[in-house]
Amino acid sequence: MLRSIIAGIGMYVPENIVTNNDLIKYMDTSDEWIQERTGIKERRFAHRTEETTTTMGVEAAKIAIERAGITPQDIDFIVFATLSPDYYFPGCGVLLQRALKMKEIGALDVRNQCSGFVYALSVADQFIKTGMYKNILVVGAEKHSFGLDFSTRGRNVSVIFGDGAGAVVLQPSANENRGILSTHLHSDGESAEILAMYNPGTHANHWADKNYAFFDDATIGEMFMSHSMIDHAQNFPFMDGPSVFKKAVVKFPEVIMEALQQNGYQPSDLNMLIPHQANLRIAQFVQQKLGLTDQQVYNNIQKYGNTTAASIPIALCEAWQDGKIKQGDLVCLAAFGSGFTWAGALLKW
Ligand code: UT7
């Protein structure tokens, strides 16, 4: 049986560091509030005009490809996870294919927000296991800083998010004791609107009875993106933070236990849990619930904020670079976010 191994991993974060105190210039917030509620001290913001989600993904991909000992021309499939694509369409996968002068291979974009990278990894894993592809590039990248409301109105969302990218190269291995052991994908669309960016979109106020603020007086031809939307700041993400938090602290432990149990393991067997970096308080709650030690969980939200689809590959890459993940280690990746979607992956490094 073939297993997918991570043959190379890379990350990229922009140079520009934005501290909590820097945000005070734009909104009514404080370093104390942000650190106490989220654990975040600073985040990176991409260069406004020179960096995009794709360019950051490209930088992370170059490192992952080099570390896998191959060239961009060896990649035979791309899976690119992001919620902040360069264009509404086409996706970032083809832009990365062009930038790295790759062959005319397939490129798939995944739009599963915070669980996007684990979903993307799972898709790639299936193609490797069936023998269809030999070198799949999986990327998670986000440029949030370009689309957040930095006024006080948007502070519950804008203080959380940061920019960056991570990438891995998946390859097949005949060694059953290495690589991805299983992936677990879930969704519950019941609360889709409580963490969402409604516009631009084709909903045409369809869900307005749910009490979430959508555009009001759009006329024909203006439905997708109207002046009114912009005037009412409805072109920014919306989040009912406490509701998301409550669901996250249930679903994170659930999917981690599912992954462990399916493979005959328990929490104490884990060498490293890489939780999606949503909020340090969520990660600490999950750690406590599963009885994990500080050495068993990796967090870097303090430095980068929540980078959505990029957060897991960035954290995984950094943990590995710091020598905290070694060959043979049992590693669990777990994510929860908008949708809701949540996902887990268990692997032997
Ligand atoms: O990765 C995607 C998935 N997302 C998540 O997992 C996020 C989950 N949720 C959270 O992380 C938390 O709910 C937040 C960090 C977003 C918010 O923390 P909270 O402890 O749930 O605060 P809250 O939304 O209940 O707001 C508490 C107070 C409110 O003021 P009042 O009504 O008590 O006077 C907010 O207006 O804090 C206020 N507030 C702020 N104050 C200063 C909200 N944002 C800010 C801010 N600075 N940035």
* pLDDT per position as a tens digit, 135-157: 999 999 999 999 999 999 999 99
d(CA 50, ligand 1 centre) in Å: 31
Q: What is the pLDDT of residues 71-112, one digit of tens each?
A: 999 999 999 999 999 999 999 999 999 999 999 999 999 999
Distance CA(198)–CA(207), nearest Å, equals 10
Question: Tokens 């960016």 appear where?
Answer: 197
The predicted pLDDT at position 209 comes to 46
For the chain, the domains span 3-173, 179-190+239-348, 198-225
CA of 34 to the centre of ligand 1 (A): 9
Domain 3-173 belongs in CATH node 3.40.50.300: no
DSSP 50-62: T--HHHHHHHHHH
Is 303 strand, coil or helix? helix
Strands 272-275 and 330-337: parallel
DSSP state of 228: H
| CB atoms inside a 10 Å sphere around CB 246 | 10
Residue of minimum CA distance from atom 2 in ligand 1: 337
Q: Identify the residues whose C-beta falls under 6 Å from ligand 1.
A: 29, 33-34, 37-38, 114, 155-156, 159, 195, 241-242, 244-245, 248, 278-279, 282, 306, 337
**Atom 28 of ligand 1, residue of closest alpha carbon:** 156
Catalytic residues: 114, 276, 306
pLDDT digits (tens, 9 = 90+) for 265-315: 999 999 999 999 999 999 999 999 999 999 999 999 999 999 999 999 999
User: Do 179-190+239-348 and 3-173 have the same topology in CATH?
Assistant: yes
Interval between CA 142 and ligand 1 midpoint (Å): 21
**Burial bucket for residue 322 (CB in 10 Å: 0-12, 13-18, 19+):** exposed
Atom from ligand 1 closest to the CA of residue 311: 1
d(CA 280, CA 200): 31
| In the chain, alpha helices (H) | 20-23, 31-38, 53-67, 92-99, 116-129, 155-158, 227-231, 241-262, 280-290, 301-304, 311-321
**Cα angle 115, 7, 74; round to 5:** 100
Q: Give distance in angstroms: CA of 156 to centre of ligand 1.
A: 5
**Topology of 179-190+239-348 in CATH?**
Peroxisomal Thiolase; Chain A, domain 1 (3.40.47)
pLDDT digits (tens, 9 = 90+) for 171-228: 999 998 999 999 999 999 999 999 999 888 887 666 554 445 555 555 555 567 777 7
pTM: 0.96
